[in-house]
Structure 1
Amino acid sequence: MQNSPASENRKLKMALVGGGGQAFIGRVHAIAATMDYRAALVAGVLASEPERSRQAAVDLGIAPDRAYGSYQEMLETETQRPPDERIDFVTIATPNSLHYDMARSALDAGFHVMCEKPLTTEARLADELMARVDDTGRVFAVAYIYSGYPMIRQVREMVRSGELGEIQTARVHYIQGGLRRMQPDQTPERAAWKLDPAQAGPSGAMADIGTHAFHLLRFTTDLSPMEVSSHLATYHPVRPLEDYGHAVLRCAGGQMATITASQVTHGRLNDITLEIDGSTGSLVWRHDHLDQIFLRRHGQPVQVYENNRRADYLSDGYRASSRLAGGHPEGFFEALANLYRGAFDDMWRCASGEKPASAGDSYPSVTDGCEGVRFVEACIASSRTDGWWQPY
């Protein structure tokens, strides 16, 4: 189905599924997708109950006639609108268990998709989505937001250009403590579904934040995992899923990598550390200093790469992702906006009869989403066998 005429003189039309009420990530998507004035939020299904959904949609500025009670109603109604009026893409920000059906339905209706992670709760479903994306030719992006930071894209260019020499090891630690504020007899104001395996899926911390860490590792290093050894644990009684875990990865070139995910570390908010060791240097990037990269070589002073578009030492990949002059921090909204920017470029290519060309580089693709789900399944299988190596 051809949605609208291929003309970048208009804004792409966005539909948001999920993310209403007290939800955090839905509003982040609504802001990031429209940041560069290339899209407008025009339709939505913002809650599981039809009346709450319609009210939440109106609160986001969506017209009453496009504030739907279910995603089925939205897709059916939107496909009946004239091509120049219907939506172009659907952003899915719902509990994990709903991702597959909603994404599959949106693709079958002819719409592009931006989906929250994890892509699905099972690898077989992720593989089915990947096949459906191939069949439909639609753009499919997965919201691994941290790959949109300009300095993370600088890290990738530094690794690929050989600035660290041969990559030998890498570590990603994603540490939170939010579960500590919850009690088993309390229902949190938002994201209560994450406490329910029927909605969250078979994994807790690894599916929620471990997949971010895994994608960050793959995006920056291009390492190819072959086997996974993992130990998962549940320390806080607020949910029956793991809240802490380690994974060790054996990679195709003999490299080793480790991932740690915690949601029960007291006092930690959203701390991410990426460390990459090469034969001629090592680097560190931290989320709490997201505009800096620390490069070290044995016996030499530490080099600090700073967010500055005028600096000659920064790459074209960095500059394409940076919006502000040096000294002005670029954060979470801008990172997600960068993913949307890449996806929008491919949506326009599709509208012009061309094939998508930016998936995996400018934005995480359905393939990246599948890799994340396979990683989670390998971690679960390994942990159940006391850390035995599992094929990835």
Structure 2
Amino acid sequence: MSNTKLKMGMIGGGKNAFIGAVHRMAAGIDGQIELCCGALSADPLVSKESGEQLGLPSERIYTTYQEMIQKESELPPTERMNFVSIVTPNFVHFDPAMMALEHGFHVILEKPMTFTLEQALLIQKKVEETGLTCCVTYTYSAYPMVKQAQQLVKEGRLGNIRKIMVEYPQGWLSKMIEDGTTLAFWRTDPEKSGKSGCMGDIGTHAAHLAEYISGLKITKMCADLQTFVNGRKLEDDGNILLRFENGATGVLSASQVASGEENALKIRIYGENGGLEWNQQDPNTLMVKQQDAPTQLFRAGQQYLSPIAKHNIRLPAGHPEGYIEAFANIYKNFAGTILATSQGAVPSEELTDFPTVADGVRGMKFLETVIASANSDQKWTDFIA
């Protein structure tokens, strides 16, 4: 394996696919990763055209993921891909991920991790058996100021955490657009998305962010899910009361029918000594509030930030870093971890700070618990163990 660069294969993400392009941009930012092959679409012609547009060698543009994984595994170690990025809808996550792990390849998966919890647990077991690295892209935890927020909580700046409020309103599904929009079609189809719509798509991001910053696990929930658009098969709105392991309470709200909203993910955490607030649409600012002192604004790029926040910043203060860079932080740390372990070194705390297979499983358990709670007559439902 190269000491400086990893070779990436991609499954899905062909031309006109939004998230595939995001992954490729993010993977390339730091010069640690190069795209070497792909099975970029279930349509062989689209896969070929996409690979040609990306400048891939013709012999490494594959028509199926099975062909790609098998043929790549037969190449010399110095030539084959080192890991695969799977950017398909979640009903096409399990089989390629398992096959990649079985053939010795590390894996990056989009979220939700799988179609069912059972599949997620099988992938986790395979990762443990093989010792390979599996990452699930809960992107919002990779913003530098989110990492700064986590550090402030760890240091006890807020005191004992009492209240966590996280919301993710979007408006793009306010109308029935499924028939004309591929992104909407599969996300609202239970045959492709699974048991959950809105919560599976964005609610899992909110839950992961709450646990990541606070360091606390959700233990109970009381969920109310609604489908506002007539004819839609999965929920497009939901509100959840939360209880955390230290006794803190919380509220999680996610909606894709909040007309006029874009991606207004926001989290507020309050402890006995103060609170903090972060807004994804102003990602370079972290507000820290105190009872008897002025509010502080922490800004990306400044020297007073924690080492882990600085590790995930590329630009001087005042030069905004956003969604692509947050994605790139996941790829940078994932790649750095693989390179370190391949050389017999122990990766640093900064490098191992990315969402793992355990986070992916936790996300699937969150969804199962949400559905169980929404369908229950009981007020509180225990988080699935």
How would you bin the TM-score normalised by the shorter chain?
A: over 0.9
How many residue pairs get aligned? The number is 383
CA distance in 1, matches of 2:117, 2:276: 32
Instruction: Using the TM superposition, name which of 359-368 and 56-65 deviates more.
Output: 359-368
Q: What does residue 180 of structure 2 align with?
A: 187
- Is residue 2:383 matched to residue 1:389? no
Q: What does residue 337 of structure 2 align with?
A: 346
Q: What does residue 172 of structure 2 align with?
A: 178
CA distance in 1, matches of 2:335, 2:72: 19
Per-residue CA distance 1:151-200 (angstroms, 9 max, x = gap): 0000000000011111111111011011125436x321545322321111
- Is residue 2:87 matched to residue 1:105? no
User: Is the CA contact (8 Å cut-off) linking 1:230 and 1:387 kept in structure 2?
Assistant: no
Counterpart of 1:303 in structure 2: which amino acid?
Q
Report 1:83-98 matches (<5 A).
83-98=77-92
Q: What does residue 152 of structure 1 align with?
A: 146
Q: 2:369 aligns with which of 367, 378, 381?
A: 378
- Unpaired runs of 5+ residues, structure 1, are none
Instruction: Using the TM superposition, name which of 248-257 and 113-122 deviates more.
Output: 248-257
User: Is the CA contact (8 Å cut-off) linking 1:343 and 1:358 kept in structure 2?
Assistant: no
User: Is the CA contact (8 Å cut-off) linking 1:23 and 1:191 kept in structure 2?
Assistant: no
Q: What does residue 207 of structure 1 align with?
A: 200
Per-residue CA distance 1:272-296 (angstroms, 9 max, x = gap): 1110001000111111211111111
Q: 1:368 aligns with which of 336, 355, 359?
A: 359
CA distance in 2, matches of 1:71, 1:40: 18
CA distance in 2, matches of 1:91, 1:173: 28
User: Is the CA contact (8 Å cut-off) linking 2:127 and 2:133 kept in structure 1?
Assistant: yes
- Is residue 2:63 matched to residue 1:59? no
Q: What does residue 307 of structure 1 align with?
A: 300
Report 1:121-160 matches (<5 A).
121-160=115-154
Flag the 1:243–1:386 CA change in 2: closer, same or farther, 3 A: farther
Counterpart of 2:46 in structure 1: which amino acid?
R
Q: 1:297 aligns with which of 290, 293, 296?
A: 290
CA distance in 1, matches of 2:352, 2:72: 30
Counterpart of 1:381 in structure 2: which amino acid?
A
User: Is the CA contact (8 Å cut-off) linking 1:182 and 1:188 kept in structure 2?
Assistant: no
Q: What does residue 25 of structure 1 align with?
A: 19
Q: What does residue 160 of structure 2 align with?
A: 166
Flag the 1:34–1:294 CA change in 2: closer, same or farther, 3 A: same
Instruction: Using the TM superposition, name which of 89-98 and 345-354 deviates more.
Output: 345-354
Deviation at 1:361, TM superposition (A): 5.0
CA distance in 1, matches of 2:208, 2:98: 22
- Is residue 2:318 matched to residue 1:323? no
Flag the 1:82–1:142 CA change in 2: closer, same or farther, 3 A: same
Secondary structure of the corresponding residue to residue 135 of structure 2: strand
Deviation at 1:269, TM superposition (A): 0.7
Question: Considering only aligned residues, what root-mean-square deviation do their CA atoms show, in Å?
Answer: 1.7
User: Is the CA contact (8 Å cut-off) linking 2:264 and 2:281 kept in structure 1?
Assistant: yes
Deviation at 1:128, TM superposition (A): 1.2
CA distance in 2, matches of 1:300, 1:309: 21
Secondary structure of the corresponding residue to residue 286 of structure 2: strand
User: Is the CA contact (8 Å cut-off) linking 2:336 and 2:351 kept in structure 1?
Assistant: no
Q: What does residue 82 of structure 1 align with?
A: 76
Counterpart of 2:82 in structure 1: which amino acid?
D
User: Is the CA contact (8 Å cut-off) linking 1:359 and 1:365 kept in structure 2?
Assistant: no
Q: 1:37 aligns with which of 31, 40, 65?
A: 31
Secondary structure of the corresponding residue to residue 269 of structure 1: coil
Secondary structure of the corresponding residue to residue 128 of structure 2: helix
Q: What does residue 246 of structure 2 align with?
A: 253
CA distance in 2, matches of 1:388, 1:15: 46
- Is residue 2:190 matched to residue 1:197? yes
CA distance in 2, matches of 1:309, 1:322: 10
CA distance in 2, matches of 1:360, 1:377: 30
Secondary structure of the corresponding residue to residue 233 of structure 2: coil
User: Is the CA contact (8 Å cut-off) linking 1:250 and 1:256 kept in structure 2?
Assistant: yes
Counterpart of 2:357 in structure 1: which amino acid?
V
- Is residue 2:277 matched to residue 1:271? no
Q: What does residue 116 of structure 1 align with?
A: 110
Q: What does residue 236 of structure 1 align with?
A: 229
Instruction: Using the TM superposition, name which of 234-243 and 158-167 deviates more.
Output: 234-243
User: Is the CA contact (8 Å cut-off) linking 2:13 and 2:19 kept in structure 1?
Assistant: yes
Deviation at 1:303, TM superposition (A): 1.3
Flag the 1:301–1:355 CA change in 2: closer, same or farther, 3 A: closer
CA distance in 2, matches of 1:100, 1:156: 31
Per-residue CA distance 1:313-347 (angstroms, 9 max, x = gap): x1111111110000000111110111111111121
Q: Percent identity?
A: 38
Flag the 1:360–1:201 CA change in 2: closer, same or farther, 3 A: farther
Deviation at 1:386, TM superposition (A): 4.3
CA distance in 2, matches of 1:213, 1:192: 22
TM-score (norm 1): 0.94
